């Protein structure tokens, strides 16, 4: 009796999820997906109760998994996310989020019940197996056919990236995306070629006599706290975000992720194209897209003679980082443990301070590692900080006197903790800049925030009127090089950051991709997804993917 009660409740829950769908197409896909699960288990076991239990419980588990991702990453669940889930090297990250860990354990329990529940009921025999097979194949064929329907596809794409509320639409529609294919854009690459040629005809490039060392810091979860629309605050000045004597570029930065998924920002910066160009694969670009790249910002530096080093507080296997960095063109990936930090190499360093990360960056520049001792090339050092990452304290006193309408006391506490970490980051960045000047060697020092975060699941309002303000951080470049570079853009897409660094360093693009990247930055005033000239954007993307074939 209890078993039938649970079966009824889970079945009712699945029906309610289907009825509460937000889009008309979801009804078709949700019902088809339910029949797909039901038919698969029925074909395998011939037990209709077990099949109904499996489909209903799995529906509930998927909905909860979807809500869990929305809560922590503010993004919907897609098939590509399972690349991350099944990679055991990423599981340690889950330990950092205690609430998520409890949730995943609960979901695994539900999955176990879905698979093994009702395992001892009597089979209905060959009829059940045959009927299950027909339902399984029929529902699969239906979903496969309609996943290509232009109207269904448009409804789904319009719901992304931030909405995507209907997980039972997202999963079938994103299944096609697990297989890499070159993005297709409707444009005319020849139109972009003409504009690029005319642009370069007006410019002259001079190679630097000495190539500067280039240091770029990806600042985890970093937004200048002065950008929050507080009604009152006592946050100290943060010079790292302000124009200084050695600042040659400073701008709001369009990033392509929110609340997490740092690798998406890494990809956009290192590859020179937004991860969003790859649709449903955007969340798994380090696994599924990077191996297909034919060019990158890093490969351009390699051709210029640079020795390229990545320094990460995370393990080499986390999110497939080492493999991805190799494909991007890095010569070496190091962890702080490789330079003396007292921890096992298998441990992610969630709490290592940004000052410590800058210390290890200095050690790389001073070649204090066996792999660097005989290197006489200019260095490109790409370093990731971590201390600015959440979770944040929910019981911290309001030391910065922060106030904002509609924010809870816990959110204010989290913002105080966050601000405290950014103040410490500011000190680390300023000390690093001082060190670079004291070396008396030419350098280019860039740093950017990879994404914003929520605070106790609240998103504070921002100053200004920029579109999609939750997807904007900042990019700063400082140098002691006597450069002819002049900032022309007051807004920048992260995909163009590499070109800015090359221009500041006085380095010419070494392939047609980077030439196009730099040209597009000028033609679009630094914008890509924000560019009002959609034809220009489509022509540019058509040139990259259909003519240059930067991915294959």
Q: List domains and CATH numbers for the chain.
A: 2-178 (no CATH), 210-509 (3.40.720.10)
Please write the tens of the pLDDT for every residue from 380-419: 999 999 999 988 999 999 999 999 998 999 999 999 999 9
Secondary structure letter of residue 80 according to DSSP: T
The average confidence (pLDDT) of the chain is 90
Task: Decide: helix, strand or coil at residue 457.
Answer: coil
E strand or H helix at 226: none
CA distance 89 to 320: 8
For every residue of 479-527, DSSP letters joined together read E-S--------SSEEGGGHHHHHHHHHTPPP-SHHHHHHHHHHHHTTT-
Task: Decide: helix, strand or coil at residue 228.
Answer: strand
Please write the tens of the pLDDT for every residue from 445-458: 999 999 999 998 89
pLDDT higher than 80, residue 144:
yes
Mean pLDDT of the region 357-365: 98
Strands across the sheet with 247-254, in order? 332-334, 307-311, 379-384, 213-219, 443-449, 472-479, 247-254, 492-493
Contact present, 451 and 380 (Cβ < 8 Å): no
- The band of 425, judged by pLDDT with boundaries at 50, 70 and 90, is very high
The first and second tokens of residue 326, run together, are 């190799």
Please write the tens of the pLDDT for every residue from 484-498: 899 999 999 999 999
At residue 289, the pLDDT reads: 87
% residues pLDDT > 70 (the chain): 92
Look at 20-29, 51-60, 342-351, 454-463 and tell me which has the smallest mean pLDDT.
20-29
Would you put residue 220 in left (φ > 0), alpha (ψ -120 to 50) or beta? beta
Cα→Cα distances 116→41, 47, 53, 127, 547, Å: 11, 12, 9, 22, 52
- The band of 319, judged by pLDDT with boundaries at 50, 70 and 90, is confident
- The band of 14, judged by pLDDT with boundaries at 50, 70 and 90, is confident
At residue 170, the pLDDT reads: 79
Burial (0-12, 13-18, 19+ Cβ within 10 Å), 58: buried
Contact present, 462 and 487 (Cβ < 8 Å): no
- The band of 329, judged by pLDDT with boundaries at 50, 70 and 90, is very high
Please write the tens of the pLDDT for every residue from 158-211: 666 555 568 888 788 777 656 678 888 889 999 999 999 999 887 766 666 789
pLDDT higher than 60, residue 359:
yes
Closest CA to 459 of 261, 228, 252, 265: 228
CB burial readout 126-145, b (16+ within 10 A) else e: eebbebbeebbeebbebbee
Start-end of H helices in 147-188: 150-158, 167-175
Number of C-beta neighbours around residue 464 at 10 A: 9
Q: Which residue has the higher pLDDT, 163 or 424?
A: 424
Secondary structure letter of residue 467 according to DSSP: S
* Residue whose pair of structure tokens reads 């079938």 in the numeric block: 172
At residue 259, the pLDDT reads: 84
At residue 369, the pLDDT reads: 96
Q: Helix 24-45 vs helix 48-73: angle between axes, to the nearest 10 degrees? A: 130
pTM equals 0.80
Contact present, 430 and 217 (Cβ < 8 Å): no
Look at 164-168, 235-239, 330-334, 351-355 and tell me which has the smallest mean pLDDT.
164-168
pLDDT higher than 80, residue 235:
yes
At residue 25, the pLDDT reads: 86
Number of H helices, E strands in the chain: 19, 8
CA distance 519 to 465: 27
Q: Could you tell me the end-to-end alpha-carbon distance of the chain, in angstroms, rounded to an integer?
A: 57
Hey, CA dihedral for 224, 229, 235, 239, is it positive or negative? Answer: positive
- The band of 80, judged by pLDDT with boundaries at 50, 70 and 90, is low
Closest CA to 449 of 251, 165, 273, 307: 251
CA distance 78 to 172: 9
Closest CA to 263 of 191, 327, 319: 319
Please write the tens of the pLDDT for every residue from 274-315: 998 987 677 778 877 898 999 999 999 999 999 999 999 998
């Amino acid at each position: 009796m209890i078993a039938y009660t649970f079966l009824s409740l889970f079945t009712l829950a699945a029906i309610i999820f289907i009825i509460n769908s937000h889009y008309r197409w979801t009804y078709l896909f949700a019902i088809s997906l339910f029949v797909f699960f039901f038919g698969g288990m029925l074909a395998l076991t011939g037990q209709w109760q077990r099949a109904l239990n499996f489909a209903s419980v799995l529906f509930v588990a998927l909905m909860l998994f979807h809500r869990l991702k929305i809560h922590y990453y503010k993004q919907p669940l897609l098939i590509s996310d399972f690349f991350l889930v099944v990679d055991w090297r990423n599981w340690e990250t889950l330990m950092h989020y205690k609430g998520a860990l409890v949730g995943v354990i609960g979901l695994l329990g539900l999955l176990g019940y879905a698979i093994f529940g009702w395992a001892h009921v009597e089979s209905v025999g060959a009829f059940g197996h045959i009927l299950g097979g027909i339902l399984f194949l029929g529902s699969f064929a239906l979903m496969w056919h309609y996943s290509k329907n232009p109207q269904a596809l448009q409804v789904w794409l319009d719901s992304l990236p931030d909405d995507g509320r209907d997980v039972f639409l997202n999963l079938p529609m994103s299944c096609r995306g697990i297989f890499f294919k070159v993005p297709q854009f409707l444009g005319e690459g020849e139109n972009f070629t003409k504009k690029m040629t005319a642009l370069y005809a007006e410019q002259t490039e001079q190679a630097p006599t000495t190539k500067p060392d280039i240091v770029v810091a990806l600042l985890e979860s970093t937004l200048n706290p002065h950008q929050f629309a507080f009604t009152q605050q006592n946050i100290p000045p943060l010079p790292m975000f302000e124009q200084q004597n050695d600042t040659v570029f400073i701008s709001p930065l369009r990033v392509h992720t929110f609340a997490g998924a740092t690798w998406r920002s890494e990809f956009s910066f290192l590859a020179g194209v937004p991860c969003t160009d790859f649709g449903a694969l955007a969340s798994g670009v380090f696994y599924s897209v990077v191996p297909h790249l034919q060019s990158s910002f890093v490969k351009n530096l390699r051709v210029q003679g640079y020795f390229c080093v990545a320094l990460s507080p995370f393990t080499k296997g986390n999110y497939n980082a080492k493999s991805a960095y190799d494909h991007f063109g890095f010569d070496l990936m190091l962890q702080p443990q490789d330079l003396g930090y007292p921890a096992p190499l298998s441990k992610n360093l969630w709490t290592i301070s940004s000052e410590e990360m800058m210390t290890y960056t200095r050690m790389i520049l001073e070649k204090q590692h066996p792999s660097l001792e005989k290197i006489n090339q200019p260095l490109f050092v790409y370093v990731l900080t971590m201390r600015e990452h959440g979770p944040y304290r929910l019981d911290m006193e309001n030391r910065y006197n922060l106030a904002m309408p509609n924010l809870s006391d816990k959110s204010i506490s989290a913002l105080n903790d966050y601000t405290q970490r950014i103040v410490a980051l500011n000190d680390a960045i300023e000390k690093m800049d001082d060190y670079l000047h004291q070396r008396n060697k030419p350098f280019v020092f860039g740093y950017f925030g990879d994404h914003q975060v929520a605070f106790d699941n609240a998103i504070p309002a921002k100053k200004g009127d920029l579109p999609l303000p939750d997807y904007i951080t900042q990019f700063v470049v400082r140098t002691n090089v006597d450069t002819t570079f002049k900032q022309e853009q007051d807004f920048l897409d992260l995909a163009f950051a590499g070109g800015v660094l090359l221009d500041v360093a006085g380095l010419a693009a070494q392939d047609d991709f980077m030439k196009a990247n730099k040209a597009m930055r000028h033609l679009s005033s630094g914008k890509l997804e924000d560019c009002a000239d959609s034809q220009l954007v489509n022509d540019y993307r058509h040139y990259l993917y259909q003519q240059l074939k930067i991915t294959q």
